Structure formats: structure tokens, C-alpha cells
Structure 1
Amino acid sequence: MREESMISKGNSLNLLDEFELILESDPLIDEVGFIHPSQFVTLNKEATSSLKHEDANFWSRDHKLAISTDVLLPLYKAAKDAFMHAISQYKRHGNLSDASGYASNLESEAMKHSKALLLLSCDFGTAWNFRKLIVSKKQKIMLFLDELLLSALVLSNSPKSEKAWCHRRWVIKMIAGKCSTLQDIAGKESELVEKIAERSKMNYRAWNHRCWLVSYMTTEQVLHELKKSRNWAGLHVADNSCFHYRTRLMLRIMEEHCHKLEDGTSDENNEIYQIWQEELDWNEALIKRYVGREALWLHRRFLSLSWIRHFTTTLGDTSNYRACKSSINGDISIFHG
């Protein structure tokens, strides 16, 4: 029994070595998935020719990696054991001054094993925390960007992983003010959420991440996002998270408008009025087309309340909204139709 256990452990380590070799040899891998062993026979000839043998455990082509489900458990155990051993050694020797680079090698080993482990177990908090420790210690932009690539890879197979989304937010907070391309990153983050939301319906965590990103967007990006997300929302009227995102975008627009009013620099009353008018008209058209959709009515309540607060002059208590009132007198009859 002990001999069989040792053989099994040896095979698991070989699997881990093969898995990590694939990850290192192709840094462009952007998608990971798990398939049943029987599915290998259905692969086309071009894909099958890349397999080492008929019962291959991994299949990698066009920067996508598939892992056979029959090796998940032994592979996970091997990755976990290797990672825990590596960080144990790192804690023991990592603070030593070593001209030979021994401590650095331990660090690299732990980072390599943590990557494999997170792709197999996306919510392994110790692995995420260790990566935060190493990356924050080095403070190199490229390492932070690598963390965005890794978490995106994890999310390709686990789109609702809260720890992966939290890791992305941590990275963005760390590089805020240090990276000249932060707006570009925010734009790409928004595109990633939309891509994931298309495949993973009702993904609250993804949309919550997109709402969080709004505070890092420029005014131009906010307006672009509002326009771009309209088509998606119109095709997914049952997804309340998407309309919550539009609410966040419009609140950001209103906040900027209020600041300009307070500073006496606002000349955009007509523009913000038009944004709300167009949203109301679009919302009404969707309500008539998709009768009874709660998300549409909830969005209309937000639009109506905002209109009453900011575009009418009939509020009983104007002290809280004096700075945000528009010179345009809204017609309350717009909600009667």
C-alpha cells in the first residue's frame, strides 16, 4: 500500500511539472477549462495531433489550455503540497542575504506553484495573499500587470471567484497614481467584465467590479461607457446588474455636474438634461417592449427620482439640492405617459 502511495505521489508530481511547463512555455494562454477524458476523442485531427498520447491529461492550442478532469484531484494535491513547502522554505530563508540568489529562487518557486494552485483552486486565499506580499515588496509595474493577466486567466474558468475579482481591485489600487495608462486599464477592465458577463449570466461579482471601476474613469470614459452599454442592456433586460451599472455611470455624471455648479463653472445644463431625457425615452421603449421586467421598472424609479430632485424647482426642501438644480424647469408630466 505504501509503495502504491509513493507511485501515485510521483505521478502527481510529474503531472504538476508538465502542467507548470505548459504555463511557462506559453505566456499568452488566456483561457483555462476542464474537459472529461472521453471528450478528447471528439477533437479534430489538428488538435489531436498535438496530444502526446491517447489519454493525454492536457491539451493546449491557440493559447487555450484544457485539463482532463480525471487528474484534477491528484494535480491539486501536488500543487498544494509544493506551494506550502515552498512558502515554508521562503519564510525560513527569504529574509537572508544570499549572494547566490537562494532566497530569490525560493520566491520564484513559490510564485510558480501558487499560479498552478490558483488555476486549480481559485479561492485558495493563502496563495493570493502570498502573491500580494511578493509583488508589493518589489513594486514593479510589470509584476502588477502580470497579476491582472493571472486573475483574468483564473476568471476564464471561474468567472464568479470573489477572491480573483478582489485581487484585480487590489492591483488597480496599488498602481493608481503610478501608471500612466490607468485609464486604458480601466477601459480594458470594463471590456473584460462585459465579455465575462456574456458567458456567465447574472454575474453580480463581475458587474460589481465594473461599478467600482467608474471612480477611476475620466468623464469621457463614463459617457462612452453609458453609450456602449446601452446595446448590451437592451438585449439583457432581465439582468438588473447591468442597469445598476448604468445607474452608477449616471450618478457619476451628476456628481461632476454638481461640482461644476458649486464652482460656478458649469455650462452643461442642457447636456445633462438631454442625457436623462434620452435614458427615460429609451427606458420607456423597453418597458413597452418587455412588459413586466422588474429591472426596467427599478431603473425608471431611479431616473424619476433623480429628475424630481435635480430638474424640477418644486421641491419642498431645497437646501440639500440647491447646488445641483438645473436652470431647466422639468415638466413632471413626462412620467404620466
Structure 2
Amino acid sequence: MQRSKMNYRAWYHRCWLVSYMTIEQVLQELNKLKRWAGPHVADSSCFHYRRRLMLRVLEPLKVKGSNANDKTEAHKILTKELDWNKELLKLSWDESNDLFELLHFWFQALWLHRRFLFLNWIMYFCRNLSSETVQSIFMNEETGIFIGNEIHLLESSMTVPDNKFEDFQAQALLASVYMLWLTKHIPEVWSMLEEKLGTEKLKCVLSTVDQERPSLLLHQIDIFAAKQ
């Protein structure tokens, strides 16, 4: 993979090997892979492999009656992955960082990876266990903090400095798309967005998305209609 940084065949083979790994080996892979994934965030095959490793970590939670230690360990690993993903996203708009010129072109892969992490965090740690849909979540203190942190990240990402409009506008658009994607899966998020961001900020977000991703805006209109 060092010779061909986009060698998807090698990554695909590694995905196949995951099912034969022990949890200890999976954790070692996740840690080692950070050194590669950090400066190669455009390598979608790499992040696909990383998601396969994360699914392996979450597998024990699918078994009825799984023990509390498995859930605690999975929670810790998924939280660390979310934090690491956030660090990479912040690097993508930090001009003082040496990787800025590379990262700001590639942050789309980071937002896509965050979708996976968000859905699985909700699925395994916030979802109503009597339901099979991700929308059926229970809003406890931890869930509120988690979603609140996501909104704070979105707000930071949607700030566009005047002197770097094009680069940061792309970041703001991806953050806006991610925000509307959240409301699609967790409709309750919209009221939290209204409370934390305010109506005017949301209007700006909708205007931005309307120009680039009108289909997402149509979905948001459906949410408004459902509330009436």
C-alpha cells in the first residue's frame, strides 16, 4: 500500500481478514492505521477498512445478552474515533497546520466517516432497544451532550472567513449537508438546531444547501410539514 496509496485491492483483502482477527488485533490495527489515515484522508479505501474494523468492535453488541464490559469498551473506542475524526476536521480549517493545503481539499471523506460514527453511536448507545430504527432514541443527558457537541462542531465548521471564502465555503457546505443529514435520521435534532443556532443562521444554511443540494432541502420541507 505504500507503493500504491490508492490500492483498493490490498485494502479489500485486509477487509476480508478482519473477520479472522481477534479483538486485540483489531484494536492494534485501529491504532496503527491512524498514522496512515491522518495524512491520507483522501484514501477512501483506507477509511472503508477502518469502518470494517469498527464494525468488528461493535459485533458483540448485536448478541442478545452481551455483557456490560463489551459495551463499555465499544463505547470508549467509538468515542475515541469520534474525537480523532473531529481533530482531523479541525486541522482542515487550521491554516497554521502543515497539512492544511492537503486536508482542506479532502475533508469530504472525514464528514462521510463521521456519518458512520454518528449512526453507530446512536444505534448502540442511544437507541430505544425495543425498536429497530435509529430514529427511536431516548434523550438522556449523555445523548443531549453528544448531539450538542455535534451542533457545536457544525457551527464552527460553517464559519467562513472573508479572506478564504472558497476553501472554507466548501467546508461550510459539507457541514451544512451533514447537519441536514442528521435531521433526516434524527428529526429531534432540528429543534435543537433551532435553539442553539437560531433562525437566521438556519436560514443561511438552508440557502447554502438550496444552491448546491436542493434534494436535501426538499427533505427538510417534508420535516416541517410533518410538524404541522
Q: Same fold (TM over 0.5)?
A: yes
Offset at residue 239 of structure 1 (A): 1.7
RMSD: 2.8
The count of residues paired between Structure 1 and Structure 2 equals 158
- Whichever of the two has the greater Rg, that structure is 1
Whether the 8 Å contact between 2:108 and 2:174 is mirrored in structure 1 is yes
Q: Taking structure 1 as reference, are residues 330 and 233 closer, same or farther at Cα in structure 2, changes over 3 Å only?
A: closer
Q: Taking structure 1 as reference, are residues 200 and 332 closer, same or farther at Cα in structure 2, changes over 3 Å only?
A: closer
Q: TM-score, normalised by structure 1?
A: 0.41
Offset at residue 333 of structure 1 (A): 4.0
Structure 2 unpaired stretches of 5+: 58-73, 93-103, 161-167, 202-228
Q: Specify the alignment match of 1:220 in structure 2.
A: 76
Residue type at the aligned position of 2:176:
W
Structure 2: distance between partners of 1:228 and 1:270: 22
Whether the 8 Å contact between 1:210 and 1:245 is mirrored in structure 2 is no
Residue type at the aligned position of 1:196:
W
Structure 2: distance between partners of 1:198 and 1:311: 30
Q: Taking structure 1 as reference, are residues 227 and 200 closer, same or farther at Cα in structure 2, changes over 3 Å only?
A: closer
What is the DSSP-based 3-state SS (H/G/I as helix, E as strand, rest coil) of the residue aligned with 1:258? coil
Residue type at the aligned position of 1:253:
W
Q: Taking structure 1 as reference, are residues 296 and 227 closer, same or farther at Cα in structure 2, changes over 3 Å only?
A: same
Match of 1:234 among 84, 90, 108: 90
Task: Identify, as 1 or 2, the structure richer in helix.
Answer: 2
Q: 2:39 aligned with 1:170, yes or no? A: no
Q: Identity over the aligned pairs, expressed in percent?
A: 13
Offset at residue 247 of structure 1 (A): 1.2
Q: TM-score, normalised by structure 2?
A: 0.59
Offset at residue 200 of structure 1 (A): 3.2
Q: Specify the alignment match of 1:244 in structure 2.
A: 112
Structure 1 unpaired stretches of 5+: 1-154, 313-328
Q: Specify the alignment match of 2:40 in structure 1.
A: 200
Offset at residue 197 of structure 1 (A): 3.0
Which has the higher relative contact order, 1 or 2, with Cα contacts under 8 A spaced 6 or more apart? 2
Structure 2: distance between partners of 1:186 and 1:301: 32
Q: How big is each residue's C-alpha offset from its partner over 1:162-216, in whole Å with a ceiling of 9 and x where there is no partner?
A: 12111111111123xxx3xx1x333333334432233435111111112222212
Task: Identify, as 1 or 2, the structure richer in strand.
Answer: 1
Whether the 8 Å contact between 2:26 and 2:56 is mirrored in structure 1 is yes
Please list, as runs of the form range in 1=range in 2, the aligned pairs for 1:39-54 lying within 5 A after superposition: none
Q: Specify the alignment match of 1:270 in structure 2.
A: 141
